[in-house]
Structure 1
């Protein structure tokens, strides 16, 4: 089976993890801050906070921005459920904005229309989570302008996008958002096994997220209510969580960061080759913004169902039967039973639903060979045949 995604673990990665395992610290040692500094420097952000998952990063980002009961979080329906669930964790309500039919990201025009209506009913969002699906950045210029006009905070869910660029600058630099979140899950561009990171240029947000990831505890005397009782002293000054990343994970991430640019460049080679190999088939290949450099976590095609005699499911199942581990990213969140119990229903977001009826994620990862890629394309040709 050729998977849709796969980690690339080198001997250097293994050696880095073994060195951490043999060190004096398995957690709360030097590797985590070094990993944070490395990622922050690479993308041009002031602060980076490593956590145990991107979901945790989204959660503490929302809390640091003051999201709570009575507030609204808006995001795209075409994303993993964590992009929306993070709002519910805070006691807020969640709503969605339909996607752009070319980029599959949150549509700025749809966002503006929804904001105009929400302003009249006094239900403007406090936070908008802009998800860079597949690694292609959203139209962050337009979203930022709307944020300034309507007063909402912006989180970039860049779980797919480390190593990508927007308008020539690294995604994660915070120019267009308050907080950016990366994921280091094994199928992502680089991995720490499980793990995530929140990046910001705000000192205040960084301090707040730092407290939230570790039980609300501080050893910083400037944050304490009184002088320390002794060198052992710490204070819990808020309610936080155990969202820390381990030293082993950070060591792996540090090693992987050395090859980040290589990984992304290889993904672009594979994507360009896919574009050429699929040009004559009845599928829509990914459209790329000219001012963006995608992280290319995913390569998503859309079937031209009016030009083939197979259903979406038949094509998908045929590929799986031929040993191609395709996937579908994602089932629109508003169609999930949990969210439908909140009142969402089919028909609410037509572009997202049309996308779901046609989309298939083909294998895309650094070590995918041209021979394997040819096998994927040949299998797709067979799956599409009458």
Structure 2
């Protein structure tokens, strides 16, 4: 089975991890801050805070921005559930904004319309989380303009998008947001096995997130309520979590980061091959906004169901039967039973998300996917949609 995504682990990665295993530090040593600085330098941002997952990073990002009971967070319905769950962890509520029919990212016109309505009833969001689906940045300049107008904070969920660019600047530079979050899960652009990172240009936010990722404990006398009792002393000054990344993970991430641009170039090339090979079939290919350069974490096609004789499910199952490990990113979050139990509005409020879910299929795409494997995918798609 050709998987939809797959990590590449090289001898350099293995050597980097072994070096840490043979060192004095496995968890909180020098490698985590080295990885943080390397990510900050790559993105052109002032601060980076490493964590054990992007989910953890989203959680503490929300807390650092003061999200709590009585507040509301808006995000895209076409994302992994973590993009919304982070609000519930804080005791806040969640609402969704429909997607753009071309990019599948959060729709700016839909956001503007919903904000205008929310202002009238005094229910504006405290935080909006645009999700850079598949690795393509949202229209962050337009979202930033709305944030200035309506007073909400912005967390970019860039779990798919490290290595991508927006208006020729790296995703994660936070020019248009308060915080950006990356994921280093094995199927993402680079991996730390499990892991995530929050980046920001605001030192107070970085300090708060660093505190919350490690039990809310500080050894900095400047943060304490009184002079330290001695050199052993620490204080818990907030209710934090054990969200720390280890030196072992950071070593893998540092090694992988050296190949990040190469990986994105490979993904772009493989996406271009799909674009050419699938152009004549009754499917919609990924559209790229001219302001963006996608990291192409995912390659998503949409079936033109009115032009084929088979169903979405039949095509999906036929591809799996041919050894092509397709997937679907994502099931609309509002349709999940847990969210339905919370009284979240459903399909009628998000027509573009519904249309997407009814016909989307994620094809295999990763740096070491061979041309022969891509050809196998193309043949399988052609046979299944023209059946």
What's the TM-score once normalised by structure 2's chain length?
0.99
Aligned counterpart, 2:216: 216
Task: Name 1:322's counterpart in structure 2.
Answer: 322
SS at match of 2:61: helix
Counterpart secondary structure, 2:348? coil
Distance 1:168 1:221 in 2: 42
Aligned-partner Cα distance in 2 for 1:347–1:166: 32
C-alpha deviation, 1:220, in angstroms: 1.1
Q: For residue 191 of structure 1, what is the aligned residue in structure 2? A: 191
Aligned equivalents of 2:353 and 2:342: distance in 1?
18
| In 2, Cα distance between equivalents of 1:22 and 1:284 | 50
Distance 2:58 2:295 in 1: 19
Where does the alignment leave 5 or more consecutive residues of structure 1 unmatched? none
TM-score, normalised with respect to structure 1: 0.99
How far apart are the structure 2 equivalents of 1:341 and 1:224?
A: 42
Please say which of residues 272-281 and 229-238 is displaced more in the overlay: 229-238
CA distance in 2: counterparts of 1:183 and 1:226, whole angstroms: 38
Aligned residue in 2 for 1:130: 130
Gaps of 5+ in 2: none
RMSD: 0.6
Q: After the TM superposition, which parts of structure 1 deviate over 4 Å for at least 4 consecutive aligned residues?
A: none
Looking at structure 2, the residues matched to 4 and 215 of structure 1 have their Cα atoms a distance apart, in angstroms, of 36
- Specify the SS of the correspondent of 1:91: coil
After superposition, the C-alpha distances for 1:205-261 in whole angstroms (9 at most, x for unaligned) are 011001100000111111111221111111111110000001110000000000000
Residue 166 (structure 1) aligns with: 166
- State the Cα distance separating 1:109 from its structure 2 match: 0.3
Instruction: Report whether the alignment pairs 1:275 with 2:272.
Output: no
Compute the displacement of 1:38 (Å): 0.3
The CA distance in 2 between the partners of 1:110 and 1:72, in whole Å, is 17
Question: Post-superposition shift, 1:68?
Answer: 0.3
Instruction: Tell me the residue number matched to 1:383.
Output: 384
Name the counterpart of 2:201. 201
Cα displacement string for residues 140-164 of structure 1 (whole angstroms, at most 9, x for unaligned residues): 0110000000000000000000000
Deviation at 1:22, TM superposition (A): 1.0
CA distance, structure 1, for counterparts of residue 2 and residue 255 of structure 2? 25
- CA distances 1:291-317 after superposition (whole Å, capped 9, x unpaired): 111110000000000110000000000
Partner Cα distance (1:97, 1:346) in 2: 12
Following TM superposition, by how much is the alpha carbon of 1:346 offset from its aligned partner in structure 2, in angstroms?
Answer: 2.5
Distance 1:118 1:347 in 2: 18
Deviations 1:239-286 (A, max 9, x none): 100000011100000000000000000000001110000001110000
CA distance in 2 between partners of 1:26 and 1:341 (Å): 42
Distance 1:345 1:27 in 2: 43
Matched, 1:373 2:374: yes
Q: After TM superposition, give the deviation of residue 345 of structure 1 in Å.
A: 2.4
SS of match in other structure, 2:55: helix
Q: Which residue of 1 aligns with 2:107?
A: 107
| Separation (CA, whole Å) in 1 of partners of 2:348 and 2:327 | 23
